[in-house]
Structure 1
Amino acid sequence: MRKTLLRMTLRQLQVFRAVCEHGSYSRAADEMALTQPAVSLQIRQLEELVGQPLFEYVGKKLYLTEAAEALRRASSDIFGRLESLDMQLSDLQGSLQGQLNLCVESSAKYFVPHLFADFRRHYPEVSLNLTVVNHALVVRRLTLSRDDLMIMSQVPQDMALDFMPFLDNPIVAVAPPDHPLCEAGDLHLQDLTAYPLLIRESGSGTRRACEEYCHQKRAHFPHTLEIGSLESQREAVLAGLGIALLPRHAVRLELQHGLLRELPVAELPLQRSWCVVNIRGRRLSPVAQAFVDFIRTERAHIVKLAERFQAASAGSGNNLAGSA
């Protein structure tokens, strides 16, 4: 090992990681409560120890060099091991402490805080860093190893991952109460195609699942309107802009209060399972392992939590249960 590498300090690595995260010396300085010249000095000293430049500007944008990418991966390992050590020391003292870094698909964001709150009743000194993104960004973050665990519905088959399904994520068709389809009896997906369909942005797991399912059922929607988030999609349905295929959890309150109606479509709900996911072979922190164990063993608690999100729509009759 190069002796110069042993002279690196954790502070230098913290500053380096902040610059990587923000892509800016000034924003990194704000986060670290330093001046911009102090950040520049730390990076210059780090470059001298590494023996190569770490950043380069193209136009006004800051890019990482190959050396910086390698250092970022190494620094993630270093801080990850230190965090794990802190958790293990806390465990030896008889209490589990630390932070769970959890990344979830946007369709799961309504339920996961309740799941974590139930987990925290067992481990009150654990904190949560929750990141909510769409499916495509969850997959991207998997490749960067930024998070302890992921919660997603469509697990990539071409990646080395361990995953455990734990709860159904039913996708249903919803419309405003005055929509003509609400007066119909039993419906089929094909009956919906005469009306505008509100869809999520490209990269959404819900959109991908619905498109694949509708294609399989030969239900083609000629009129669609792309909406950039679950909340906006829900509001667009309330405004009468169209119908939508949405996770029942995301519209449970609107269904319960009669603001939206779940359409009785024979081919629905489309059942997908939420899964807790981690990179195969990567050692979990004590907190992350405790969370996985909680999900595995406390199914009764999860089912009770899920029942709170069960839609009270007429004729629903579908219950949510943990998937094996």
Structure 2
Amino acid sequence: MRLTLRQLHVFDAVCATRSYSRAAEEMALTQPAVSLQVRQLEELVGQPLFEYVGKKLYLTDAAEALRQAGADIFRRLDSLDMQLSELQGRLQGQLALAVESSAKYVAPHLFAAFREGQKEVDLQLVVGNRGEIIKRLVDNRDDLVIMSMVPQDMALEFLPFLNNPIVAVAPPGHPLCQAPQLKLQDLEPYRLLVREAGSGTRKACEEYFQQKRAHFSRTLEICSQEAQREAVVAGLGLALLPRHAVSQALASGALRELPVAELPLYRSWCVVYPRGKRLSPVAQAFLAFIREERSQINALAVRFSGRQPAAH
């Protein structure tokens, strides 16, 4: 098969946009030029790559297979570019990083600390809930993944690097804020705001509630941490959220952390990748940074704790 990289780039743009015209805009081509490239690919593959159902464009099975192969080719070329830069005594390229939504507050600062010593490295960051991140791991879409609660039924390498404390929060005027000490069961009469199914925070909390025999009959599902945080501020209920996600609200007094004896619930953030995966030079350098620069990572933990560091 005499495929060209140009054809694969055009094909990938059509896959991403689900539109010949939008792909043409992205590639600075005419729509007939895009159609021609796709038609030539279909002749090489011997099968149709796209089909219209109504007015929507869908990928055929052949297109899905070709897109996966193209992604592998582009990754290998990126890795080659990094290796050639490394041979010249410099690290250059892009780190494709996927993170659970709770980690999106920490991940950019973690990368920024890494980039202090690697000025020519860029970041491609994807954020999703736990279910979406696991799917990306299965598809090998990223260089590295940051998540908690690493799946035990998958062949994965992982490096824990930072605690992810989950705490109970309430608006300042809530009656539970007056209590000097609480038990988890003391929260049961109140409405609990929860994330959507597939969220790592929700999974961790549900398993913990079962372990502690806590039952919340009144819940309200909210599908983002930002909306969940604002709903607590608005007085719609209590929530269990990663302290990193509410650090600014805690520091400003917009939210209060409830003194629940069984909390925080600690889970560790981990850098994860499929076992046997050949890491790019940039991914190897990022992993080495996390393994070796504990002081910088601990400083990040203090910054996102929602508390002031102790005076000396």
| TM more than 0.5 | yes
Task: Give the structure 1 partner of residue 81 of structure 2.
Answer: 86
Percent identical residues: 72
* Structure 1 residue 114 corresponds to structure 2 residue 109: yes
Equivalent residue in structure 1 for 2:128, among 112, 124, 133: 133
Measure the CA separation in 1 of the matches of 2:117 and 2:147.
24
TM-score by length of 2: 0.96
Q: How does 1:232-311 map to 2 (within 5 A)?
A: 232-311=227-306
* Structure 1 residue 209 corresponds to structure 2 residue 204: yes
Residues 1:15 and 2:23 are matched in the alignment:
no
Q: Which residue of 2 aligns with 1:64?
A: 59
Aligned-partner SS, 1:109? helix
2:146 to 143, 151, 168: 151
Q: Which residue of 2 aligns with 1:189?
A: 184
**Counterpart of 1:307 in structure 2: which amino acid?**
V
How far is 1:266 from its partner?
0.8
Deviation of the 1:258 alpha carbon: 1.5
Task: State the aligned residue count.
Answer: 310
Q: Deviations over 1:18-47 (max 9, x none)?
A: 122222222222221222221111000011
1:148 maps to a residue whose letter is D
Measured after TM superposition, the shift of residue 179 of structure 1 is 0.3
Larger mean CA deviation between 132-141 and 24-33 belongs to: 24-33
Structure 1, residues 187-242: CA drift from partner, whole Å, max 9, x if none? 11100001111111221111111111112111111111111211100001111111
Q: CA deviation at 1:63?
A: 2.4
Question: How far does residue 62 in structure 1 lie from its aligned partner after superposition?
Answer: 2.3
Cα deviation per residue 1:23-81 (whole Å; 9 max; x = unaligned)? Answer: 22222222212222211110000111122211222333322222222212221121111
1:178 aligns with 2:178: no
2:90 alignment partner, SS class = coil
Q: What value does the CA root-mean-square deviation take over the aligned residues?
A: 1.5
Work out the CA distance in 2 between the residues paired with 1:45 and 1:131: 32
Query: Residue 171 of structure 1: SS of its match in structure 2?
Result: strand
Q: Any gaps of 5 or more consecutive residues in structure 2? A: none
TM-aligned CA deviation for residue 286 of structure 1: 0.7
Q: Which runs of 5+ in 1 are unaligned?
A: 318-324
